[in-house]
Amino acid sequence: MKIIMLGAPGAGKGTQAKRLAAKYNIPHISTGDIFRANIKNNTELGNKAKVYMDQGLLVPDELVVDLVVDRFKNPDCANGYVLDGFPRTIPQAEALDKALANNQDAVEYAIDVDVPDEVIIDRMAGRRACLNCGATYHTITIPPKKEGICDICDSPLVLREDDKPETVKKRLTVYHEQTQPLIEYYSNKGILKSVDGTKTMDEAFEEVVLLIEGN
């Protein structure tokens, strides 16, 4: 079961990706994890990526695809994987498809967690984080026991820069320009499944499972 997760920042695709990985006993793969593992293990691909990252440059698409496809060779991917946060653009998707086809392989499902921008902005504005222990909360859906204070370590909770409305709007603009075209791309391939991300996490997950298993 080879799955790509799509959705705007804050749509909840990461949470759904982890739950799918746990349900089907396949790895949840993000490019950030791949970069860190390859750099830590001092691999040839990791060293190539590090040259760009150390300069604050984006890692070229071809190299990212090489790293992703190399990750698929690990034994834990024998039954599939959930790819989260990649591809982000049409050229990346095309490069990934080409690399997989060279191995007689292909993605089976592209799952779009669909949430309107205004809902995402409201959601992210309610997020609160503990900078001390890393715990995260939401003022409405996962409030701390004591307002503004972390349940775990009693440190103050903050609204991160990434979650402020003005930052979220900028991130959504980039998403619509670069990543949203992937929805049409995978729809044309006949593998797109769209779920209503405004539902609760449990309801959305049930919908994803039904879409996969009902295919």
Task: Please give the Cα distance from 208 to 187 (Å, whole number).
Answer: 16
Kindly indicate the confidence band of residue 179, based on its pLDDT and cuts at 50, 70 and 90.
Answer: confident
- Give yes or no: 19 in active site: no
Structure tokens at 188: 């044309």
pLDDT over 90 (residue 202):
yes
Classify domain 2-116+177-213 at the CATH topology level: Rossmann fold (3.40.50)
How sure is the predictor about 196, in pLDDT bands with cuts at 50, 70 and 90?
Answer: very high
Q: Hey, what amino acid is at 202?
A: D
123 has catalytic annotation: no
Q: Which is the catalytic residue, given 48, 50, 171, 199?
A: 171
Task: Give yes or no: 88 in active site.
Answer: yes
Query: Out of 32-36, 44-48, 75-79, 140-144, which region has the weakest mean confidence (pLDDT)?
Result: 32-36
Share of the chain above pLDDT 90, in %: 68
Token couple for 18:
């982890």
What local confidence, expressed as pLDDT, does residue 131 receive?
Answer: 92
Identified catalytic residue from 13, 71, 123, 193: 13
Residue 215: pLDDT band (50, 70, 90) is: low
Burial of 56 (0-12, 13-18, 19+ CB in 10 A): exposed
The pLDDT assigned to 140 comes to: 87
Average pLDDT over residues 157-164: 91
User: Which one of 18, 88, 164, 199 is the catalytic residue?
Assistant: 88
